[in-house]
Amino acid sequence: MYLLDFIFRLGVLFAIYGFLWGIFELGITLVGSGRKRTLVEIYIIRGIKYFFLVNVTFLFCFDSIQVNMLEVNRVIFAGIILLTYFVGKLQKNQNRSSLFNIAGSISDRGFPIKQVYFNMRAEIIIIVVSLVAFSFFWFFPEYAVNNIAKWFHESIINIEDTPIFGFIFKIIGFFFLLSMIFKMVNAITFLLNGGKVNRKDDDPNKPNSLSGDDHFDDFEEI
């Protein structure tokens, strides 16, 4: 029960953090007068975003509201959820990039399609660096306490406590909880099946259907 509540609150944290970071990125876009960013700039900003997300998540692990869970357990579960979240983001960015390549550079209405920049190596690097930073904070927690992370942490708590916005983000946190449960169940099923994916299309007595990709995907990460 405590674990479910912890995952739920992490979902709320991720949602509010994404909202605050979206405002920050909007400000960067306005300052840059709509100038297109280079691939390096995109991944530097994304790396900073991921770094402070793990920083705020680490601080969240020590909130007094979760006294019923051991600190080490909170940190371990938070690390697993962060890894799942980042991998989901990587897959989402990869899919968006693939769709852009298929669609081409011009939409049906004749307007340019917004280009999606994606680099697998860069994605993996910023994810690994972010998770290493999360582990680093465990051994040197004094570095996790900084003005930027404290501001994000306090702002997230304040927004979560507001009547309207807090309720909206709690709904998102609920769906995040469901997403994590489905992913964990799928992972356990995958391991119990010996690494084999259980698919209905593998039934030889079933008539051939459309492509096996026509299944429902997991809930999209926040």
Q: Output the pLDDT for position 132.
A: 97
Is pLDDT at 153 greater than 90 in this prediction? yes
Nearest CA to 176 among 103, 66, 81, 77? Answer: 81
**By CB neighbour count within 10 A (0-12 exposed, 13-18 middle, 19+ buried), where does 40 fall?**
exposed
What confidence tens digit (pLDDT) does each residue in 128-150 have? 999 999 999 999 999 999 999 99
* Confidence class for position 64, pLDDT limits 50, 70, 90: low
Given a cut of 60, whether residue 219 has pLDDT beyond it is no
When mean pLDDT is compared across 34-48, 113-127, 144-158, 169-183, the lowest value belongs to 113-127
pLDDT for 84-97, tens place per residue?
889 888 888 888 88
Which candidate, 82, 81, 156, 93, places its Cα nearest to that of 120? Answer: 93
**pLDDT value of position 154:** 93
Go through 120-159 and write b for each residue having 16 or more CB atoms within 10 A of its CB, e for each that does not.
Answer: eebbeebbeebbebbeebeeeeeebeeeebeebbeebbeb
pLDDT band with cut points at 50, 70 and 90 for residue 216: very low
Residue 109 has pLDDT above 60, yes or no: no
Q: Structure pTM?
A: 0.77
Cβ atoms of residues 75 and 55 within 8 Å: no
As a three-state string, the secondary structure of the chain is CHHHHHHHHHHHHHHHHHHHHHHHHHHHHHHCCCCCCCHHHHHHHHHHHHHHHHHHHHHHCCCHHHCCCCHHHHHHHHHHHHHHHHHHHHHHHHHHHHHHHHHCCECCCCCECCCCCCCHHHHHHHHHHHHHHHHHHHHCHHHHCCHHHHHHHHHHHHHHHCHHHHHHHHHHHHHHHHHHHHHHHHHHHHHHCCCCCCCHHHCCCCCCCCCCCCCCCCCCCC
Q: Are 123 and 93 in contact (CB under 8 A)?
A: yes
* Residue 71 tokens, joined: 């600190």
What percentage of the chain reaches a pLDDT higher than 70? 74
Torsion angle of the four alpha carbons 132, 138, 143, 144, in this order, in degrees rounded to the nearest 10: 90
Taking CB atoms within 8 Å and a gap of at least 24, the contacts of 89-92 are 89/221, 90/120, 90/123, 90/124, 90/127, 92/220, 92/221
